[in-house]
Structure formats: C-alpha cells, structure tokens
Amino acid sequence: MKKTLQFIPIQLTFFLVLGIIFGHFFSIPFTSIFFLLVGFFIMLTFAYFLSNKKFNKNLLFAITTYFLTFIIGVSVITLNNELNHKNHYSHFLEEENKSILSIEKILKAGNFNDKYEAKVIKINSHNTIGKILLNVKKDSLNQLSIDDRLYMKSDFLEVLPPKNPYYFDYGNYLKKQHIYHQSFLERRDYFKLEKRKFSFQGWAHQFRYRINVQLRAHGFKGDELAVINALLLGQRQDISPELLDSYAGAGAIHILAVSGLHIGILLLILNFLLTPLERFKRGKLIKLILIVSLLWIFAFIAGMSASVVRAVTMFSAVAIGMLVNRPTNVYNTLVISMFFLLLFNPYFLFDVGFQLSYLAVFSIVWIQPMVYSVWKPKWKVVDYFWQLLTVSIAAQFGVIPLSLYYFHQFPGLFFISNLVIIPVLGTILIGGILVIFLALINMLPSLISKAYYYLIHTMNYIVNLVAQQEDFLIKNIAFSLLMVVASYLVIVFGIRFLDKRNSKRLIGLLGVLILFSSVLIYEKYERQSTEELVVFNKSRFSIIGNRIGEQLAVLHTLDSTTLSKDKTINQYDLGSGNLNISMKDGISNILHFKNKKLLIIDSLGIYNVKDYNPEIVILQQSPKINLERMIEILKPRLIVADASNYKTYVRQWDKTCRQKNTPFHYTNEKGAFILSD
C-alpha cells in the first residue's frame, strides 16, 4: 500500500482532485488562471534544470509539479463551467425568449410531463451553447426524439431549491450536469424544425429504438424489456419505480447500471472471441484496436453515461496492458483512468455513481484478498462462491459510508442477491447480445427468446423476494458528511492494522477510533443544543415542527392517507440525526418559542386575543381577514403564510405587507420558515 501511494499518478490525481474541488467552490477569473499556469510552468522548467544539477534534487521539482497539477484542476473545472463562456444562453435571456433547441437526451418521464435534455442552439437571434431541462406535457402522438430541433417561445425558469429542510436539491444536481434552467411546454408552444442529418447520439438512439421494436415483436415487454435495456443498452428510463426499489432493497441496484462489472465481462468475451487473430502478423495489435473500438461503440450505444464512460476508459487501459503482456497494476489503472476522466469532465467527481464505482473497485482490489485468505475451501464450487462472497463484502466495505450518506439505508441481504445474480450475469450478458443480434436479423427462435425472457423474469423475481424481507433492510439511517470521513478513516486504519499488526498501526487505529468517537459526541451535542420552530411547506396542509434538542413536536392538519405517504418530517428527521418525534393532529392558535410569541390565524379568522401581542403571525387555511386592520391592531414584526392558503389570497397579503413595510414570508416561494433564535 505504501509503495502504491508513492506512484506518481496517484499523487498527481490527488492534487488534481483538490484543484477541482477548490475551483468548484471558488470562482477564479480566466486571466488569473492563465497567468498562474504560465508562471508555474516556467517554475517547473526552472526546477527541472536545477534538479539535473542536483540542487535540492527533486524536492523543488515535485512541489512545483503538485502546484501546477492543482492549478490544472482549477482550470479544467473553470473551463467546463459553461456559465463562464460569453456565448452561454443565460447571457442573452430576455422577458420573452424565442429559441431553437436540439433534443440531446431522453430522461425518465414524470407523472404529467415527458422530460428531455435539450441543447440551446440559438436564443433571440444569438448563437449559443448550454443545456436546459425540457418538460413537455405528455402526448402519445407527439413524442420527441433525439436530434429533434424545436422552435419554441417559452420562459426559461430557474430550478428552485427544495422548499423544506434536508430535501434532495434537484437544482444543485442539475447544475452539476450543466443545466441551469427548465421550460414547461404544451404542444402549442413549439413546432419542429428539420433534423440534423447525422449525429452519433441520434444514430445510437435509432439503433436502440430498432432493437426495442424487434424485441417487442418477439414477446419482450414490461419490466423484462426494461431490464434488458438497462443491462445491455444503458437505458434505465422505463424501469418501474417498484422494481427499482426492489433492486435497491436487495442491494443489487448496481446490476442495472452499465458499469465496470458489465464492461469487464464484455472485455473477457471479446478477448476470447478474437484470440484467433493473434496467429496473424500484428494480430495482437489488430485485436486490441478491435476490442477498444467495440467497447467505445458500446459506450455510444449505451448513451455515453458517466458510468459507461469511466468503465470503458478503465478497461481500455486494461486491454492495452493485456496487449503488452505486462501485469497491470489495478491501482495504477484505476488512478490513470480517473485522472484522464477528470481532465475530460471534472464534474464526474461530484457524480454519486463515479464515487461509488471507484471506491468499490479499489476496495475489492485491496480488501478482498485479505478476506479471502481467512478460509480457503478445498472444493472448487465452494471456492468460487466464497470468492464471490468476499468480493461482495469487500465492495460493501468501500461503499457503505457513502451509501448511508446518500441513501440512508443498508440492505442486510446484499450478499444473497449478489451470490445468485453475479454468477449468471455473464450468461445474461452473452445471451442478451445473442438475442439482440438474432432479433435484428429476424432469426430469433421462439425457444431462445422465451428462455431468455424467463431468465430475466426469474432474476427479477429473486430480487423482489430478497427485497421483501424487510426485517433485513435497515432504513432511515442518519449519516452526516463528518461521519463519512471518520468512517473511512476507521476502515483504512483498521484494514491496515489487520494486514500487518504492529504498535505503530495500532496507535493509528486507536487515534482514528478516538476521532470517530469525538464526531459522535460532537453530533450528539449539536442535536441536543439545537432549538428551532419550523413552518414546513406542504400544499393544502399545515405542518409546524417545534424542536427542543432531540425532541420534535409536530403539529399538523394532515389526513391519515396523506400522513402515511408524506416525507416532510422523515427528511427533516434524517437530516437532523434521528429525533424523538411526537405527532399531534391539529394546531393551536397560540404558540411560544423561547421568548417569542406566535399567533396562528386559521380559516376561522380569529386574531384579536386579549392581552396577547404576537411578534410573528402565521396564516393558514386561507382566513378571510382584513390584513391591513390586523397589522394595525397586532403590529407583528413578521407575517408567515404557508402553502395551505389560496394563492390569490397570498398575492393580496404580500401587496398589503409591502404597503405596510411588514416582512412577509410565503413558504411556497421562499421555502420553509425556520425560527431559531
């Protein structure tokens, strides 16, 4: 491990990552970055000549190289941020926008809208770059396709932040995909223009469409067809939410995303099939070119998703290593592929799949041999499944802290689904390629199509069966970013100690265990010392949370059906570190928080309470009151309206508050109101 860390690409990748993170959070002008790059390059040249003359040999050169790599990291993310480019569409937005778009990607549809990623080619007569999220009202007769060009007149709306605490920030997620606005369209809001003649994305989409037509003609449908699209074509849009939940609950969601596992199997298949080429002159080189070309063709067909690109990049390096007959150090391959991927697109660093994939592979390479060495079965069949089990355990060690942070659940039976599925995954991929090929040339026998259909059906059934064992699925686990860092330190130092037990490593392990305990104590202190009153945003209903330390009293007007499905309090609970929650149906008109008085005015419109002068007034359930008169009588410092009120009422209240110079907070626009002092 120590020798691995001394590998120069690992050190350079580390500083590249630091530069990308710095550049993401701190904006630096292009001119400053340019001068820094030139300056450090000159310093690097100077340091190189000094090192040759053996003055401070390698030290100055190494430090300069690290700083230069850091600046390169800052520069690549700055250059990749399209907002920094003068021809980005956002610089030309007006009150009324006329734009020409090209459909780049088809996304998973919502309940009412089909969703697309669209490139803004021109806006208000300006040639532009940039992408937006396009929400088109569902219409089975007018669905859009990749490469469709549209002329539209529509507003470019910002994707608003979440309106309740600790909800998923979809707008921030889109920004990392270079998407900063969205538009909502109906059929009358746009018309189609002539398509581009050719694009790789369009060709790949048409090819996938043709495959799906042929598969449907041979009886594939529903979740089985959706899983084939995910496994072999990298398209997960059509998988039902129920099946996705089942794969997640069974700890097998990685099966549905084309990743290193799938590309590795594909590489082995291609390597075996093309072995006869090695008999010819320069056959190995031809074989390598074919393998790498076919892997990248597959990547294009699969939509060039982040997971596919990183997997194909990594295994292209592995294929080159196989050509030169050199034992490829997997650590080196991983790091080199990561380095070039981040140079190509630094925003990969913030992609959850990218993080989990590299952590899983790194953990398998590092931890699996140690776990496997604990027991060495004599029987080959037992040994094979023991290897699979140790691979699953090692991968879980690598991803569990980050998985808990992002998904807040742990599938206790992950090893069962992996032991069942992974051994036959190669058969599924080979069979799928064969089925697709025979279907495309109209030579797919009914027996083969039915056998493959039931193979996929059986896999889905097993996953559903494992996921139904809810006692083994631990949900609602609160896990902070500090806990993630502390957990990885414990894992790293713990594995190092188990690998080689000595006093130095024991001291290191004890040190990180003390750090881990300190994080737990700190977060418990934070939970116990936090006091806040939250007026949540919930359409047609009212929810107020009064938190004192780890106790959360929730007052609400939700009916039983809505209460069972609502996630507002659940998300707040997870983000706060798991609280003791008490629910109360109904909201009293008078509340106190610390030394502040609050008055709730509901549909009854009662606000003239004797000898009670509230600092904050909360309006709920559309009370029919004269707000101007209420302000004159109560003289509140702030008025809050939640999402249970009619919007027409809210607009009038907002206008009145402006006239009276009284602060007004509407949760449906500004998000939940949080009072903490």
pTM of the complete model: 0.83
Q: Which two tokens stand for residue 296?
A: 């990248």
| pLDDT confidence band for 112 (50 / 70 / 90) | confident
> Which secondary-structure segment (H or E) carries 602?
none
**Stronger pLDDT, 530 or 57, i.e. the higher one:** 530
Distance, CA of 29 to CA of 9 (rounded, Å): 28
The 10s digit of each residue's pLDDT in 227-276 is 888 888 878 888 888 888 888 888 877 777 777 777 877 887 788 888 88
The whole-number average pLDDT for the span 511-518 is: 95
Distance, CA of 319 to CA of 284 (rounded, Å): 11
Averaged confidence pLDDT in the chain: 86
pLDDT for 536 equals 96
pLDDT for 327 equals 46
Pick from 100-109, 177-186, 319-328: least confident:
319-328
Percent of the chain with pLDDT strictly greater than 90: 37
Pick from 13-17, 74-78, 391-395, 537-541: least confident:
391-395
322 SS3 class:
helix
- Count the Cβ atoms, other than its own, within 10 Å of residue 173: 14
* Residue 143 backbone phi and psi in degrees, to 5: -75, 145
pLDDT for 389 equals 82
The whole-number average pLDDT for the span 385-412 is: 85
The 10s digit of each residue's pLDDT in 415-425 is 787 777 877 77
116 SS3 class:
strand
- 640, β-bridge pairs: 618, 665
pLDDT for 528 equals 93
pLDDT for 625 equals 92
The 10s digit of each residue's pLDDT in 481-499 is 999 999 999 999 999 898 8
| Residue bearing tokens 């790949």 | 204
pLDDT for 411 equals 83
The whole-number average pLDDT for the span 494-505 is: 89
The whole-number average pLDDT for the span 151-164 is: 90
Pick from 54-58, 214-218, 394-398, 533-537: least confident:
54-58
The whole-number average pLDDT for the span 416-443 is: 83
The whole-number average pLDDT for the span 175-188 is: 89
pLDDT for 6 equals 58
pLDDT for 620 equals 95
Give how far the C-alpha of residue 597 lies from the chain's centroid of Cα atoms, to the nearest Å. Answer: 42
pLDDT for 53 equals 57
User: Residue 433 pLDDT > 80, yes or no?
Assistant: yes
Amino acid symbol at 233: L
Are residues 317 and 337 in contact, defined by beta-carbon separation less than 8 angstroms? Answer: yes
Highest mean pLDDT among 314-328, 391-405, 626-640: 626-640
Distance, CA of 234 to CA of 429 (rounded, Å): 12
**Stronger pLDDT, 426 or 561, i.e. the higher one:** 561
Q: Which residues of 79-118 are buried (b: 16+ CB within 10 A; e: fewer)?
A: ebbbeeeeebbbebeeeebebbbbbbbbeebeeeebbbbb
| pLDDT confidence band for 329 (50 / 70 / 90) | low
The 10s digit of each residue's pLDDT in 659-677 is 999 999 999 999 999 998 7
Strands (E), 64-185: 98-106, 113-123, 126-127, 131-137, 149-153, 157-158, 179-185
Helix 59-80 to helix 8-25 angle, to the nearest 10 degrees?
40
N-terminal to C-terminal alpha carbon distance within the chain? 50
The whole-number average pLDDT for the span 559-569 is: 86
pLDDT for 318 equals 74
The 10s digit of each residue's pLDDT in 82-95 is 888 899 999 999 88
